[in-house]
Amino acid sequence: MCTDELRMLGCVRVATASQMARVITAEDKDGCSYVRRAMRKLEEQGLAETNGKLGKENIWNLTKRGQQVLVDGGELPLRPKAGTGGDGVKAGFGPHGVAVTDMTLAYGGPEHLTSWQVEVSHRIKETGLNFNTDAVLALPTASSEVRLFELDNSTMSQARLAKEVWDYERYAGHRVWEGARGTNGKTYAFWSRYRYTRSERFPTLHVVLAGKPEHLLDNRLKVLARAARGISVHVLAVTLPALQRGEPWQQLGVDDPYGRRERYPEPVGR
């Protein structure tokens, strides 16, 4: 039997009882006690488990069996490479996962939960570029089928954060030769042929900063804005508190396919 708690964990991978209560119970009620009782029942049934805490709250995730129950019930599509999130929590990434869940709830709200995927791989074997996007929202616009989200929980250096943002330009700029042997002299963008085939433009990257007091996040955002200057993909950034208040995003970069073509003129290794 599928429950609201199972469905939510199937979408966001990890969550606390208070996060689930915000989605599942009425806004004017404290549903944490209800959710905690429900999670204990799911734990007894072998469908959910907790592998760590954030403060005093347990961080919950599905078990493999819980994932399969959702698939068998037709609640969510089968995602063969999707993990449960338990290993990440055990490895110390629970706070990051909880912050990602906060981000998804702040941006899309409960009505878009089933449109999210977390930890989505972006890889180009030929160049060795390989990174995971924290969350991808399948909410099409006129020019793009998805929106990309990176959550920085202030656990990495400013230089590392800037590199992660620039990796998206490297991914968007990679081109491959047309034809089996690349003999006709034409190239096309890797992402448009093999990944986001229904998009006219490379998807917008949304960067959300969390994990520190807001005045420090504001400073971190200013440093990132300087580091991203001149990037040729559309990048928007905001702090998590500002996102939760519904404040506007700051634009760090604009989509510029012609600029990318100049920066990455032809594929590697022809």
pLDDT class of 270 with cuts at 50, 70, 90: low
Q: Which residues pair with 133 in a beta bridge?
A: 120
Q: Which residues pair with 31 in a beta bridge?
A: none
Interval 144-182: pLDDT, tens: 999 999 999 999 999 999 999 999 999 999 998 876 555
For residue 109, what pLDDT is reported?
A: 82
Interval 101-114: pLDDT, tens: 999 999 988 888 88
Residues 134/150, Cβ–Cβ less than 8 Å: yes
Average pLDDT value for residue range 59-82: 81
For residue 29, what pLDDT is reported?
A: 57
| Whether residue 246 has pLDDT greater than 90 | yes
Burial class (CB in 10 A: 0-12, 13-18, 19+), 241: middle
Distance CA 253, CA 264 (A): 17
Average pLDDT value for residue range 64-92: 81
Whole-Å CA distances, 240 to 143, 218, 258: 26, 10, 32
Using DSSP bridges, classify how beta strands 129-137 and 147-152 pair: parallel, antiparallel or unpaired: antiparallel
Interval 106-144: pLDDT, tens: 998 888 888 999 999 999 998 899 999 999 999 988 899
Whole-Å CA distances, 34 to 24, 45, 180, 246: 10, 17, 58, 28
Distance CA 236, CA 132 (A): 18
| Whether residue 191 has pLDDT greater than 90 | yes
Helices (H), the chain: 4-12, 17-24, 32-44, 64-72, 86-88, 94-107, 158-173, 190-194, 214-227, 240-244, 257-263
Interval 48-69: pLDDT, tens: 999 999 999 999 999 999 988 8
For residue 185, what pLDDT is reported?
A: 65
For residue 226, what pLDDT is reported?
A: 98
Average pLDDT value for residue range 92-104: 95
Distance CA 84, CA 19 (A): 17
For residue 114, what pLDDT is reported?
A: 85
- Listed residue (117, 144, 133, 160) closest to 234, CA to CA: 144
Q: What is the mean pLDDT of the chain?
A: 90
- Quote the radius of gyration of the chain (alpha carbons, Å): 20
pLDDT class of 215 with cuts at 50, 70, 90: very high
